[in-house]
Structure 1
């Protein structure tokens, strides 16, 4: 495949000097083995892609193995997801998300994610704001915010001798 490179000349930014000095052009985070699946409970793992502490946002792929679930949780911000593989749903709703489906969750939503798919599920999530997790008796367990996701990723990398990808930090 021959892709022609096109460079577009844009008008100068009024703050170009500041952008040149402090700005980032974007980043590339590989989805391969350089970016590990970090265990998340007994039935799940997370592949982290970005962390923005300024906006308390994170992006990742959640993998829930077949017959697995993650705990009941309540959102304080908007969450969006696109299902990549398998199928999944929430016990509290009557729909099942399949590859290509888009899901959004609003602040205040509380639910329990599960996958009965024998192959499990993988979905790309964009998380805005904290998420409170609860045990099966509705007792608060922990809050997952951007700082929790950073610690989840960095502690795993450090414990396993893996390089921390600085491009993930927006």
Structure 2
């Protein structure tokens, strides 16, 4: 059997990526590609994202804390792995300080209280925001996030 080596495995260590903060949300961007973005968030208790849906699937892992989607009534606690199918509409609500890793395919579409689209977030816009927050805090932009 002949083996061929492919491209090098992309990698980045979380210790090499700064945490930036937007109010009660800590953000660390681990990877951004054309169709997938990976973020780690540290949310303070009481925080709630706007009601939203994703155009692709989302995987999440809870390192610590307790959170839920307001519509489903299920608490996701430390050690919980979730999968959101594309198109599910929900409102992420943080019950306790939480540290969560999300692997997101496609875009995040936000809705206002009347059900109108109020914003669209994707990997590129998240990375641009992350870099801007690094710049504002005087933190050098990390390397190795893009793939």
* Alpha-carbon shift at residue 71 of structure 1 (Å): 0.9
Aligned match of 1:25 in 9, 14, 37? 9
Residue matched to 1:12 = 3
Match of 1:108 in 2: 87
Aligned length in residues? 147
**In structure 2, what is the Cα distance between the partners aligned to 1:137 and 1:43?**
25
Give the alignment's Cα RMSD to 1 decimal: 1.9
Deviation at 1:90, TM superposition (A): 0.5
Taking the TM superposition and a 5 Å limit, the aligned residue runs for 1:25-104 are 25-31=9-15, 34-39=17-22, 42-53=23-34, 56-104=35-83
Tell me the distance in 2 between the aligned counterparts of 1:137 and 1:45.
28
Give, in angstroms, the shift of residue 76 of structure 1.
0.5
159-168 vs 124-133, which moves further = 159-168
- Asked if the contact 1:44–1:69 (Cα under 8 Å) also holds between the matched residues in 2, the reply is no
Question: Which whole-Å deviations, capped at 9, do the CAs of 1:90-112 have from their partners, x for residues lacking one?
Answer: 11002100011111101110100
If the length of structure 2 is used for normalisation, what is the TM-score? 0.89
Indicate the structure whose relative CO is greater, using CA pairs within 8 Å and at least 6 residues apart. 2
TM-score, normalising length: structure 1: 0.78
Deviations 1:15-45 (A, max 9, x none): x5xx4xxx3332223336x512331xx4323
Maintained 8 Å contact 1:38/1:153? no
Structure 1 runs of 4+ aligned residues shifted over 3 Å read none
Larger Rg: 1
The reply to whether residue 148 of structure 1 matches residue 125 of structure 2 is yes
Give 3-state SS (helix, strand or coil) of 1:166's partner: coil
Structure 2, gaps ≥5 residues long:
none
Distance in 1 of aligned mates of 2:58 and 2:46: 23
